[in-house]
Amino acid sequence: MFGVKSLPLAALWSVLLVGQVTATVVPNPKIGRAKRQTPAGVTVTVTNCAAVSSSATTAVPSSSEVVSSISDAVDLASATPSAVASSASAAGGVSASASASSGIASASASASVSSAVTSASASASSSSASAATLSAASSATSSSSSASASTPSATSVSSSSTSPFAPSLADSSFLYDLDHQGINSPIITTDTGLALDKQIYIVDMVGNSAEQIAGYHQAGKQVVCYFSAGAWEPTRTDARDFLPQCYCGKDVTYDNSTGACTGSNANDNAIVEWGDWWLDIHSQECIDNVRSVLTARFDLAKQKGCDAVDCDNVDSYRGTQKYGTTAQDQVNHLLWLSSQARARGMGISLKNSGGLVTDVSTRQPTQWADSLVAAFDFNNIESCHAQNICDLYDPFLRAGKPQVQLEYGDAITSCPTLSEGQKLLVYSKNDLNSQLVTLSC
């Protein structure tokens, strides 16, 4: 959802909020609804340009670009099991109890993984892996104090653990499309006439049905499913499964009918430019609640046939939030997300969190670099050329794991020099609609 925040080249700006509350926010492009243009004055050196084929004539069948909350609800309802009570164990576990989550919360920077994930994968990739759903998350939340914990902890995820989804540096190609939902053909024709036929398609999880994902598979493609793993989005059908104190903040009033934060401090944890709120991944109560809801999202991804997941909003430690979320909290959350994907036999990308891999000031690997590189299969990076931060993700390239660079606007008009494993998509404006791609490198 967002580019890397609070970096040397990122400008701070103030936004006047509803109720005359002023917040200082770092502008960042949002995956799926990105609007920030490349900063003025940024010069991008381009050499070694690569041509993009535009010979294919296959057109994209017309399809709805907007998925209503009704259709979302149909997707979610179809995944609801008859025995909700068994969802925690069937899906690798809803980490709802304080004792289950404490292992994650105390994970150290050098957290290394055990073979627990391997055994968890075997059971979680069976048909029972789709048992818990977004509807089950609400039930799991209400019974969080007694739910059993079978979810692998961050400290038990082995650095050698892998998933069947393993994109390579040399052969992998990607297309990122969250806004033009329901594409029926894997060959995309852009507004400028480019014909894009890639191997890996990153799409919105709720906005694409199991049948559409199966269509990609029949065409020999792999599918990565996007969902938010760190922000409260009021329009999502499972939004009310989150506890209000876990997105509004403690002692913040909220509307009982909508869940919306109210009062003078309603925007303490708001992502102002998008109308979303950061989730609390610092307090134990909210860690339990957030994980119960996200567990259901992982289950839905597995049920729909996603090969991997793209978890957004995973850099709240750098965002405007008052939970006290630290970099260590963020790493714990990321390693837990990886364990959930691995337990279901899915891959996972690391999104826009380069500062946790490489120190922004020293350009040296952080204490968490090895653990994060081992836990994730590839990177999705927004505006790294515009912000001069592409190198923060170099440890992934050295480990043989590719990266997808997403740029917006018209600052880059020809392919820059890229290292093996770096893939670049340029969109004419800050919307991740594949028909807006102007350059593919």
Taking the domains of the chain in order of start, what are their residue ranges? 13-75+168-285+303-440
Give the range with max mean pLDDT: 77-86, 99-108, 179-188, 255-264. 255-264
Total residue count of the chain as it appears in this document: 441
More confident of the two residues 27 and 313: 313
Cα angle value 166/169/172 (rounded, 5°): 65
Is the dihedral angle over the CA atoms 70, 73, 78, 83 positive or is it negative?
negative
Residue type, 422: Q
Mapping DSSP to helix (H, G, I), strand (E, B) and coil, where does residue 121 land?
helix
Angstrom distances, CA of residue 339 to CA of 143, 162, 216: 22, 10, 26
Please report where in the chains the tokens 């069947």 appear, as a residue: 164
Question: At 162, is the pLDDT very low, low, confident or very high (cuts 50, 70, 90)?
Answer: low
Architecture of the domain defined by 13-75+168-285+303-440: Alpha-Beta Barrel (3.20)
| pLDDT-wise least confident of 143-147, 226-230, 384-388 | 143-147
d(Cα 201, Cα 138) in Å, to the nearest integer? 30
Find the mean pLDDT for residues 56-83: 35
| pLDDT-wise least confident of 117-121, 365-369, 393-397 | 117-121
Q: Per-residue b/e over 412-440, b at no fewer than 16 CB within 10 Å?
A: beebbeeeebbbbbbbbebbbbbbbbbbb
Tens digit of pLDDT for each residue in 214-256? 999 998 999 999 999 999 999 999 999 999 999 999 999 999 9
More confident of the two residues 80 and 270: 270
The percentage of residues in the chain with a pLDDT greater than 90, rounded to a whole number, is 55
Whether 37 has a pLDDT exceeding 50, the answer reads no
Provide CB contacts within 8 A for 221, sequence distance 6+.
186, 198, 199, 200, 201
Question: At 178, is the pLDDT very low, low, confident or very high (cuts 50, 70, 90)?
Answer: confident
More confident of the two residues 118 and 279: 279
| pLDDT-wise least confident of 147-156, 213-222, 277-286 | 147-156
The structure tokens listed for 35 are 């609007």
Question: At 182, is the pLDDT very low, low, confident or very high (cuts 50, 70, 90)?
Answer: low
Please report where in the chains the tokens 């990105």 appear, as a residue: 34
386: left (phi over 0), alpha (psi -120 to 50) or beta: alpha
| pLDDT-wise least confident of 124-138, 167-181, 256-270 | 124-138
The percentage of residues in the chain with a pLDDT greater than 70, rounded to a whole number, is 62
Give the torsion through C-alpha atoms of 336, 80, 206, 153, to 10 deg: 0
pLDDT at residue 152, rounded to an integer: 38
pTM, two decimals, is: 0.68
Of 121, 200, 106, give the one whose Cα is nearest residue 158. 121
DSSP H/E element including 295: helix 284-304
pLDDT at residue 181, rounded to an integer: 54
